[in-house]
Copies of this chain bind each other. A is one copy, B any other.
Amino acid sequence: MSTSPPAGASGARLAPEIAARLDRNPDGLLPAVVQQYDTGEVLMLAWMDDEALRRTLETGSATYWSRSRREYWVKGATSGNVQRVVGAALDCDGDTLLIRVDQTGAACHTGARTCFDEGGELPLGADASAADREAP
């Protein structure tokens, strides 16, 4: 789809034994599920390339790749709503990350605690389908 994001400017790179396990999408990215470490709340989903993952693991400050701005962003750098990294795991097939953090304040840019609080619940059952309403 597009070219891979640039490598780290510092010359540091993700440890090869970690990099070898990553199954990246065509943009060189993996989805990162971000979870509050103690309450278990799923706060948000963001995207990481190798360098964002390296910065996250090494600095302990959650750092993502912005697909819209095409730049790295340290969560909370402007808002103060930082994410201190407590742990990180890769899934069974290496294509998804789980980042466990201690979230200061709101995770969502809207001010909601989580991005899913902001988006809200979807209806279960027949209300999810439009089929009945198409009957004459």
The interface of chain A, by Cβ under 8 A from chain B, is 1, 10-16, 18, 21, 26, 31, 33, 35, 39-42, 44-45, 53-54, 57-58, 60, 85, 87-94, 96, 98, 108-110, 112, 115-131
Q: With A26-B1, A31-B45 as known contacts, state yes or no: A128 contacts B87, CB within 8 Å.
A: no
A116, B130: Cβ atoms closer than 8 Å: no
Contact among B45, B58, B90 for A96, CB-based, below 8 A: B45
A13, B131: Cβ atoms closer than 8 Å: yes
A112: chain B residues within 8 A (beta carbon): 92
Q: With A45-B31, A116-B91, A119-B89 as known contacts, state yes or no: A57 contacts B124, CB within 8 Å.
A: yes
A39: chain B residues within 8 A (beta carbon): 40
